[in-house]
Structure 1
Amino acid sequence: MDVPFLLSEAQMRRIEPYFPLSHGIPRVDDRRIVSGIVYVIKHGLMWRDAPKGYGPHKTIYNRFIRWSKMGVFNRIFAELAGEAGEPDAIMIDATHLKAHRTAASLFKRGALPRRIGRTKGGLNSKLHAVCDGLGRPIILLLTEGQMSDHKGASMLLPNLPQAKVLIGDRGYDSDRFRNALTERGIVPCIPPVRHRKVPLPYDRQLYRKRHKIENVFARIKDWRRVATRYDRCAHTFMSAICIAATVCYWL
């Protein structure tokens, strides 16, 4: 089988338990189809341009869309990330993802949410992430591009693991967020904003590790269909992000 990329048998054994059961006619080889999905997302190809070795491009596309609606790829990421256990330290940050014209052209139509917003940089989405002390993503959230870091953090707050410390940049410096972390027993390591009358202390040595979450965004954005959003629906784009994060960090 002439294909440029193929998931290993060990990698397939880790993700197969989360695949939906096949009803009726047996599915086309899961390893070949899922590898084709990964290849298309990483290189930003049109589905019809997928190498022939992966099989019919319609099969690859239909499998991706169907499993995205079922939340299969999101569940795989969440389950594999959860196997790492409770981290001692976590980091939080957000980044913008540019929406291609094919994704943004119909952003106001349809019943399904698109998570595309308008900012000074144009139409884009925003990816909020939490990673552990080793720089591995454990929580991902997709919102409209204009959503503030504070609001994204408040949405992530209920799902934060019980870590000892949270590292974030000064964009997350607010009394409300700090108090919410303290109530959960998490020490905030966040530099104060410049207009604070009484600057709050923070561990400068520990704060230097914040670059690890920036590395997470850089590595995920190496995947072309993540760096530039081609998908109109939020669930398919979020699936692409989860696939990239899973392959890069958890397989």
Structure 2
Amino acid sequence: MAKQSLFWLSDEAWAALEPHLPHGQPGKPRVDDRRVISGILHVLKVGCRWRTFPLSTAPQRPSITATTAGPSAASGIASSRRWRQLALCRKSFPSTVPTSRRTAPPKAQKGAWAQAIGTSRGGRTSKIHCLADDRGRPVAFALTPGNIADIRMAIPLLEIARPTKRLIADKAYDADSLRQWLSGAKIKAVIPSSAARRTPYPLDRKAYRRRNVIERLFCKLKNWRRIATRYDRLAANYLSALALVAAISTWI
């Protein structure tokens, strides 16, 4: 397979990414980091198996978690200090549900729930929750089983992305508990009221039009086949791949 047909980090992208890689680690001599990360990104892009990747270009199954900001084992939230520092005033908040394929653990297998795989109308699924700034760049991710309500991860994500001035979200986040929390945190809620409300809350419709930026973000992420469809058994690997793709697609 020719190098031209593989994903390869540009000089500009590598110059931005290389300073954040670990250096001076004990163990075997490191191989070329740029070649390994480019190989990982190629597999994530096309969705091929690790064993089918040309060994002359990258290891057979490199460790994704070793090349990205690792997710928190306690909460399943992946973020970085640099992302929090770059967070801007507006946040958009949707979730997407990738389908888990046969390489992911089945429901009956012990630990499937711990690996963020649940059963919903679409079968075995995982749900990606994302907090993004007003330029459509992800600030924080959370991964849960697909049958978890969107609003469950709203406050945990917002707590690690402060300061925030305004939250733009859809009707799935129209809950009094979230609105009260936002009010206490001095965050303006730009959330349309659900049809069940007898007295709708006022909505800044001009600001709400900006919610499309995160929809476009998920369109970018779903161009990567191993993000649109989950093949990883471990939630940590899938979430780390998501963080790496998001950094390459939006931040660099």
TM-score range, shorter chain: 0.7 to 0.9
Q: CA RMSD in A?
A: 2.6
Amino acid at match of 1:63: S
**Counterpart in the other structure of 2:62:** 62
Distance 1:239 1:95 in 2: 16
**Counterpart in the other structure of 1:243:** 244
**Counterpart in the other structure of 2:206:** 205
Alpha carbons of structure 1 residues 107 and 132: separation in structure 2 relative to 1, 3 Å: farther
Distance 1:152 1:77 in 2: 14
SS at match of 2:103: helix
The aligned length equals 246
Alpha carbons of structure 1 residues 126 and 165: separation in structure 2 relative to 1, 3 Å: same
Following superposition of structure 1 onto structure 2, how do residues 92-103 of structure 1 map, counting pairs within 5 Å? 92-103=93-104
Distance 1:144 1:192 in 2: 26
* Structure 1: runs of 5+ lacking an equivalent: none
Alpha carbons of structure 1 residues 167 and 198: separation in structure 2 relative to 1, 3 Å: same
**Counterpart in the other structure of 1:105:** 106
Distance 2:171 2:78 in 1: 32
**Counterpart in the other structure of 1:9:** 11
Following superposition of structure 1 onto structure 2, how do residues 7-156 of structure 1 map, counting pairs within 5 Å? 7-21=9-23, 22-57=25-60, 61-64=61-64, 66-67=66-67, 78-84=80-86, 86-105=87-106, 108-109=109-110, 113-156=114-157
2:101, 2:231 within 8 Å by CA — same for their partners in 1? yes
1:69, 1:235 within 8 Å by CA — same for their partners in 2? no
Distance 2:172 2:107 in 1: 31
How far did residue 80 of structure 1 move?
4.4
How far did residue 70 of structure 1 move?
5.5
Alpha carbons of structure 1 residues 36 and 201: separation in structure 2 relative to 1, 3 Å: same
How far did residue 182 of structure 1 move?
1.1
Residue by residue, what CA displacement relative to the aligned partner does 1:165-186 show, whole Å, maximum 9, x if unpaired?
1100011001110111111111
1:131, 1:213 within 8 Å by CA — same for their partners in 2? yes
SS at match of 1:105: coil
1:18, 1:75 within 8 Å by CA — same for their partners in 2? no
Distance 1:82 1:139 in 2: 8
More helix by share: 1
Alignment TM-score, normalising by the size of structure 1? 0.88
Alignment TM-score, normalising by the size of structure 2? 0.88
How far did residue 110 of structure 1 move?
5.1
1:107, 1:232 within 8 Å by CA — same for their partners in 2? no
Q: Which moved more, 1:45-54 or 1:2-11?
A: 2-11
**Counterpart in the other structure of 2:163:** 162
* Structure 2: runs of 5+ lacking an equivalent: none
1:104, 1:123 within 8 Å by CA — same for their partners in 2? no
Distance 2:145 2:215 in 1: 20
How far did residue 62 of structure 1 move?
3.4
Percent of residue pairs identical = 35
